Amino acid sequence: MAGKTLMKSAKSALSGLQCAKSTVTQMRSFTSRLNEQQQAIQELARNFANEQLKPNASKLDLEGRFPFDHIKSLTDLGLMGAAVDEEYGGRGLDYLSLAVAVEELSRGCASTGMIMCLHNFLYANLVNEKGTPEQKEIFLRDFTKGAIGCFALSEPDAGSDVASIKTTATPDGDYWILNGKKSWLSSAIEGSAVAVFATFDPSLRHKGLACFLVPMDAEGVFRGKKEPLMGVRAVTACDMTLEEVRIPRSYMVGKAGEGFKIAMEQLDQARIGVAAHAVGIAQAALDTAMSYAKEREAFGKNLTRLPSVKDRLTDMCIMIETARLLTYRAATDVCTKHSSMAKYVAGKNAAAVADHCVQILGGRGLSTNYDAERHYRDARGTQIYGGVTDIQKRLVGHFLLKEHEAL
């Protein structure tokens, strides 16, 4: 009953709250104050997380079970197409609204937050912003109504080094033929389509890449077994093999040679989402630590009154707020430097905050009967997926020197 009430109030709140993405992303000034729309999205996501996600997060994690019911509810709330144009069933929201939603959902369940994040930032936004009208009809409209989209960039021998992609795209009349193997596809087992990056000329390196939209049920597409993960265990990740997959030429996004640019632009967006995801996990860790410290007594007083614990809680608060502000900045002024800074800080800080959480709970922090160890595992991955921390630091340094003409 509570779920139905939430759905009705959510749809009512969202119906009159639309904000053009361009209005937000083109601002030259920055404020951390959320506008009316963003506050409504935050409240919507927070209520859903508290009522639906948080009570089930531990069970989903222990069972490694994909949260189908939660994703269905998020679809009904319009959050599985949050930034997609209304014409194709989306809400047309700005990136900060989407980031705020990812944070709140990840605070309740990191796995559900990640699924929603990657579907939006890596797949739905790509088709919405770069797809043709034909592509949007085939690969977008249903993806705001429950179908899940995926992103296939990484390979067994090409992760951070995107130019080394070996998956090939061979022209054949009105078709392209794809061959190769992709790795670490999130939600691919449940997905209905995937954005695949392949090379039509390996000698051109990054200039020889192209992006293709591929139905998961296309002949020659084979998905591997679910990869056991350390964290976000309810998320499915697997390999995908492409064997003589024939797709129409019209399924190419953009032009041949634009694949690298498309991939980098989507990763700029994805890092905003992963940063928000990390902030949500860190906030959940602080919530857990604070709740425990207020109730637990040692040396005749609550843990909150012990200087060492108080210092840890303070450090956690500072790290979370620092990461949150960088994430908000990245979402309102999208560029590589901002998104890389946000992801770099948010990922590192989430891992540090989760570590503090485990330490405050002591022995209980190591038990699967408490949330601390799950936050610890979930936080670690935010320094890897969406671009490893090491690469983010290099990107920030590159654009810093470029701004000062010091390259």
Contact 192, 218 (CB under 8 A): no
How much is the pLDDT for 29?
Answer: 61
How much is the pLDDT for 3?
Answer: 56
User: Model confidence over 220-263: pLDDT tens digits?
Assistant: 999 999 999 999 999 999 999 999 999 999 999 999 999 999 99
H-helix or E-strand spanning residue 351: helix 336-361
In the predicted model, what is the mean pLDDT of residues 18-40?
66
Least confidently predicted of 13-17, 178-182, 332-336, 385-389: 13-17
Alpha helices in 49-167 (DSSP H): 57-63, 68-76, 95-108, 110-118, 125-130, 133-139
Cross-strand partners of 222: 241
The Cα 400–Cα 256 span in angstroms is: 30
- CB neighbour list of residue 384: distance below 8 Å, 6 or more residues apart: none
How much is the pLDDT for 21?
Answer: 53
In the predicted model, what is the mean pLDDT of residues 295-304?
87
The Cα 60–Cα 69 span in angstroms is: 11
Answer whether residue 14 shows pLDDT above 90.
no
pTM: 0.92
Which tokens hold the place of 198? 């392949």
Which tokens hold the place of 358? 């485990």
In the predicted model, what is the mean pLDDT of residues 271-292?
98
Task: Read off the pLDDT band of 10 (50, 70, 90).
Answer: low
H-helix or E-strand spanning residue 247: strand 237-248
Answer whether residue 26 shows pLDDT above 50.
no
- CB neighbour list of residue 208: distance below 8 Å, 6 or more residues apart: 199, 200, 201, 202, 257
In the predicted model, what is the mean pLDDT of residues 145-166?
91
**Would you put residue 358 in left (φ > 0), alpha (ψ -120 to 50) or beta?**
alpha
Which tokens hold the place of 184? 């670490």
Q: Are strands 168-172 and 221-223 parallel, antiparallel or unpaired?
A: unpaired
Contact 122, 81 (CB under 8 A): no
Q: CA 25 from chain center: how many Å? A: 18
The Cα 188–Cα 157 span in angstroms is: 19
Contact 3, 70 (CB under 8 A): no
Query: What are the phi and psi torsion angles at 38 (to 5°)?
Result: -65, -35
Q: Could you tell me which residue, 164 or 179, shows the higher pLDDT?
A: 179
Query: What are the phi and psi torsion angles at 232 (to 5°)?
Result: 35, 55
Domains located in the chain, CATH noted: 2-144 (1.10.540.10), 149-260 (2.40.110.10), 269-403 (1.20.140.10)
How many other C-beta atoms lie within 10 A of the C-beta of residue 99? 31
How much is the pLDDT for 209?
Answer: 97
In the predicted model, what is the mean pLDDT of residues 184-212?
96
Q: Report the candidate in 226, 294, 235, 262 with the shortest Cα–Cα distance to residue 131.
A: 262
Give the dihedral of Cα atoms 320, 184, 25, 327; nearest 10 deg. 10
User: Model confidence over 85-119: pLDDT tens digits?
Assistant: 999 999 999 999 999 999 999 999 999 999 999 99
Answer whether residue 143 shows pLDDT above 80.
yes
User: What percentage of the chain has pLDDT greater than the value 70?
Assistant: 93
How much is the pLDDT for 31?
Answer: 73
> How many distinct helices (H) and strands (E) make up the chain?
14, 10
Q: Report the candidate in 95, 141, 77 with the shortest Cα–Cα distance to residue 275.
A: 95
Answer whether residue 25 shows pLDDT above 80.
no
Answer whether residue 138 shows pLDDT above 50.
yes
In the predicted model, what is the mean pLDDT of residues 339-364?
98
Answer whether residue 27 shows pLDDT above 50.
no
